[in-house]
Every structure is written in structure tokens, then in C-alpha cells.
Amino acid sequence: MTDFSDTYETDNGMTLPEGVHVFARKEALGNIAILEDSVTLHRLGTAEDFPVAAVEQAAIAVVEIDSEDPDSLARLERLRAKRPGLPVIAGLQVAPVRTVRSLLRKGVVDVLELPFSSEELIAAIVDVARAAKPVRPETPVTLAPVIAVLGAAGGVGASTVATQLATMMSSRLGEGARTALIDLSLQSGDAGAYLDKSPRMTISHLFEAIDRIDDELMRSVAIDCGDDLDLFAAPDDIEPIESASADEIGRMLRETRKRYSAVVLDMPSTLPNWAMPILLSADEVVVVGVGRISALRHVKRKLSLLQMLGRERQNISVVLNRLSGGLFKRSDVSQMEELLGYDVVQTLEEDTQLVEEAQLQGVSVAALQKRARLSRQIGDLATSISAKIGKDY
């Protein structure tokens, strides 16, 4: 990415950096056609996909957004996921305070009203360029794959699945592998309790030092849970679910991925704005629902959301939890798959006593009863996920 050192002179003496790309409908461009020698204009609808080459080349993106159109907002999320460090200036037909705040939380750096004014756009671009720090080339580093575990609704056992899956991932990834479990259920944060850990430091300490994260800080926050697993616990205090920004969480996640073989995320079932880029960019999304016909509508809603965000079907794993042992048949699963329109990757038998004892001791169910049906099923899920993320450690 440019460091904004090469600039163009404008008629009013201000300078514009190279690499400014504007994506908007013709009628939204206003009088900025006069800047066409200095910026690159792409005349697109508010939900049309951005040209791949333009996204890769852009140093600043100016994007028209229809805040009433989910497809337009999803397009912005895809851009933020593909280029998390790209400064984005948004253009809106109307810009109410609530909408502006929402866009700023999504990582947008400025919001302008439409149609664009060349004077306002120039000022916004120059402000972004002045605020930007020169980007030094980073030494290439392999980032660990991310598995986001998402409950179809509250109370379906998604945190249990996330913690139990995380305890078994490292053994599937090979010798020397280590897994990080990050509890992003910022208001409930059950992973620590399920692993019988009382954290002294939590991910809030990473957010507070987001520009100064190093190995020492990561080691201070990480809690060794055995099984080559480290836990990054949710904050102790209950805070508004939007209190963390997409930028903070994205940067924290990147720093974690640099240091581990795999990262498992325990996602909140009620999704805040910052969760959308994660669901877009995760290597695998595991959707956990309850194995009952009456509960499948919750699973279908989450699958519809992932489809709207553009997730590939092959990178979504549907898991049905708390099935009734021997009474459940393959024909029942086939019926559920037909209703969902998705294959069920794994079913998990209900074994309340085993799960509660494992959580009381802070260990995996396999550590207590390796031959239990539930232990084998979670092991099969870990094997399936490790094969899909395609890492050979």
C-alpha cells in the first residue's frame, strides 16, 4: 500500500494521494468528475461487487452505501474483511447520527452526504492521508486458520462445543501445534468457567494495549488449559456488546493468529456489528443448533445470514447438539438436512452428566471417558474441521 508520499496538486493548492478509488452511482458523484485525473471513478450500483483489481490497488476507498439495503452493507463488510487496513470514506443519501455511529464502528473513517461535493471529498481524503502512518513492509508471516463457533440461538450449548472442540484441535494438527480459544461472548463469557479457570487478565487488556501487543502481553493474558490449549477469556465486567470495535477485535485476532496453529472463537449468539467481518473471513464457521425439528428455524436463520454475507457452503459446518441417544436414527438426521438444505456434519449425543463433570474439572470429556459416545463424536468433529482448514503442522 502507498505511504501517501506521492500526491497530486489540486486547483485549490491541496494535495491528493495516489490510489483513491471512488465507487458510486453516476447520480451520486455530484461534481467530483472534475477530479477524475486525480482519483479513479467506478460507476457502480450500491450493491454491485467491487472490481477485484481496484480493491487490491486502492490506498483509500470512497464508497456509496445504501444503509437500508442489507446487500449494500454486506458489500462493505466484505471489503473490510478483505482489506481490514484500507481507509474507507462512506457516502450516504442521508446521514442520521445512528447510522453514522454504526458505520464508524464498522471501521469507516469518515461519512459524507450525497451527492458528493468535490470540496468536501478533497478535504476528507487529505485528512485521511495526513492521519495515515507510513506502512512499513512486514516480514511475511503465516496466520493460523480461524474456526468461529456460532450458536443458532442462546442456550444451544455452543460454548460447550467451542471449548470441547478447542481441547481436541491441537492433537489433530500434529506435533508442536497449539490452539488458542478466544471467548468473544463479551457479556456472558462462559468459556473460563467451563474450563475451570479464573483469569487474572482478559481480552480487554489486549484491547486497551492494541497498538502495543507483544509476546509478553500475549503470554500474560493467555491461560494454559492443558491439551496444548490457551484460553483468552472474556472481560469480567458486563459491558455493552458494541463496546469493542471491529478494528480492535480484528487486530487482536491477527496478533493471536501469528502465534498459534489454530484459533477457535466462541461467538455471541446475538451478533453485534463487529462480528460480521469475522464471519466473513473465518476459515470455518461451525453453526451449533439443538437436534429437534422445532428448533431448526434458528439454525436456518443463521445459515441465511451466512449466505447473505457470501459465505461458501463448503466452509460452514452444521452441528446438532443434545440428541437423544439411541432413540435418534439416521432417517431423523436426513429429515433435518432436507429441512435445512445443508448437510449435518456432526451430531452430538446428550450426556449431561459427563459434560457437567468435565466442566467441573476443567478438562475435555475425552479425558474423563475416552470411549464415551460423546467423546468420540467431538473427536470426529475436531478431525473433520482440522481436515477442512487444510493445515499440515
Please enumerate in sequence order all residues whose Cβ is within 8 A of that of 274, keeping only pairs 6 or more positions apart, or say none.
Answer: 105, 106, 242, 244, 245, 246, 249
Task: Tell me the average pLDDT across 126-149.
Answer: 75
Omega of the bond prior to 115 within 30 degrees of 0, cis? yes
- In Å, what is the CA distance from 96 to each residue of 26, 81, 88, 92? 23, 25, 18, 9
Say if residues 125 and 17 touch (Cβ distance below 8 Å): yes
Say if residues 262 and 179 touch (Cβ distance below 8 Å): yes
40-43 vs 7-9, strand pairing mode: unpaired
Task: Tell me the average pLDDT across 301-327.
Answer: 86
Say if residues 23 and 86 touch (Cβ distance below 8 Å): no
Determine which of 76-80, 111-115, 147-151, 250-254 has the lowest per-residue pLDDT on average: 76-80
- 285 forms beta bridges with 148, 316
Q: Rounded to an integer, what distance in angstroms lies between the CA atom of residue 337 and that of residue 343?
A: 5
Confidence of residue 5 (pLDDT cuts 50, 70, 90): very low
What's the pTM?
Answer: 0.68
State the maximum Cα–Cα separation within the chain, in Å, rounded to a whole number: 78
Q: Is 213 left (phi over 0), alpha (psi -120 to 50) or beta?
A: beta
20-24 vs 229-232, strand pairing mode: unpaired
Of 355, 360, 350, residue with least CA distance to 320: 350
Percent of the chain scored above 90 by pLDDT? Answer: 58
Task: Tell me the average pLDDT across 175-195.
Answer: 92
| Domains of the chain with CATH codes | 7-131 (3.40.50.2300), 146-389 (3.40.50.300)
Q: What pLDDT is attached to residue 330?
A: 66
- Please determine, for residue 185, whether its predicted confidence score (pLDDT) is greater than 80: yes
Q: Which H or E run includes 231?
A: strand 229-232
Q: What pLDDT is attached to residue 3?
A: 41
Higher-confidence residue of 23 and 335: namely 23
Q: Where are the alpha helices (DSSP H) in the chain?
A: 52-57, 70-82, 97-105, 118-131, 158-173, 191-194, 203-208, 215-221, 246-257, 275-281, 296-308, 330-340, 352-361, 365-368, 373-389
Confidence of residue 325 (pLDDT cuts 50, 70, 90): low
Each as own residue / partner, the long-range contacts of residues 159-162 (CB below 8 Å, 24 or more positions apart, any chain) are: 159/183, 159/185, 159/188, 159/190, 159/191, 159/194, 159/266, 160/194, 160/321, 160/355, 160/359, 161/286, 161/288, 161/319, 161/321, 161/348, 161/378, 161/381, 162/191, 162/264, 162/265, 162/266, 162/286
Cα-to-chain-centroid distance, residue 242 = 14
Residue listed under C-alpha cell 457502480: 44
Say if residues 263 and 253 touch (Cβ distance below 8 Å): yes
20-24 vs 15-17, strand pairing mode: unpaired
Q: Rounded to an integer, what distance in angstroms lies between the CA atom of residue 380 and that of residue 165?
A: 10
Residue listed under C-alpha cell 487496513: 85
